[in-house]
Amino acid sequence: MPLDKNLIDKIIKVTSTAAISCHKFVGKNDKEKADKAATDSMRNEINKIEISGKIVIGEGELDEAPMLYIGEKLGKGGNLEVDIAVDPVEGTNFVAKNLPGALSMISIAEKGNLLNAPETYMEKLAVSNKVPDDATDLDFSLERNVKNIADALNKDIKDVTVCLLDRPRHKKMINKLQNMNVKMKLISDGDVSGALMVTNKKYNVDFFLGIGGGPEGVLAASAIDAYGCKFQGRFIFDNDKNIYRAKQMGIVDLTKKYNLKEIVKGDSIFCATGITNGDLVEGIKIKDNKYITETLVTHKGSNMCKIVLSEDTIKT
């Protein structure tokens, strides 16, 4: 059942207000204060909406940050029960160091429709809707995936662009791509943004892959669902603590590959507001005593994928 479009403006308000709240910490080298400001604001705004919400994807132990914790109940109350996934600040380092690409993000879906992802790592891939669904797979070799994408897009392999996090864990992958003479877009943080770059040819990214946070995988899947793109993920459970937590969440098959429809069932609304300028949206601007924000909004139920500008008067 599609979510009510009237919710969209309220969800935009959640991320735009959170982005504004942490904007004063841009360049202040204090990512904890930036994250706390966005988190507190996000909680406050969600509690104004007539929903009975539950956080299924929240901030966790990897960030050691003020949490919107998994299981937290939010919303003003009402008949609409929803799952909520949040990342008050994707790219806390970007805010602290005044670097491009910081976002405030949220996704909502009806109760039971968002995968409850543990705070562990996930293998991921995302690919354009121009590529057949069976052309890519986490179990394929890197060479096979890239060649299939090149064939589907009628490109030479040297013209295929792959986006991945610039991390030591990806060193072998990066070396292999370099040997294949593939173009790379190496990002320092923000793999939700990285996955979203496969949605439009203007970003010039054909393939996103690598290992990143599991919760971010759920947000990415929700974001790209409205574009008809492919997303696939597989959690990495490499210690007893993660295995225990997975079982507590009801995950039985620890090696399962999840496709997009298993991560996000039915309809969802996703919003990402820019804090600092990035590839997807512009950061916060101040003009005529107002904050100007840009928010990327996707809503599968109404085929909405657009950038929304908002204004908020600066309170003195």
Q: Name the 3-class secondary structure at 297.
A: strand
Query: How does DSSP assign 191-255, residue by residue?
Result: HHHHHHGGG-GGG---EEEEEEEHHHHHHHHHHHHTTT-EEEEEEE--SHHHHHHHHHTT---TT
Domains and CATH numbers, the chain: 7-113+267-313 (3.30.540.10), 121-263 (3.40.190.90)
**Residue 313 host element (H or E):** strand 304-313
pTM here is: 0.93
Region class of 228: left (phi > 0), else alpha (psi between -120 and 50), else beta: left
pLDDT in tens, 238-263: 888 888 888 877 788 888 999 999 99
Could you give the percent of the chain with pLDDT greater than 90?
Answer: 78
pLDDT class of 1 with cuts at 50, 70, 90: low
What's the rounded Cα separation, in Å, for the pair 125 and 133? Answer: 12
Asked if the model's pLDDT at residue 61 lies above 60, the reply is: no
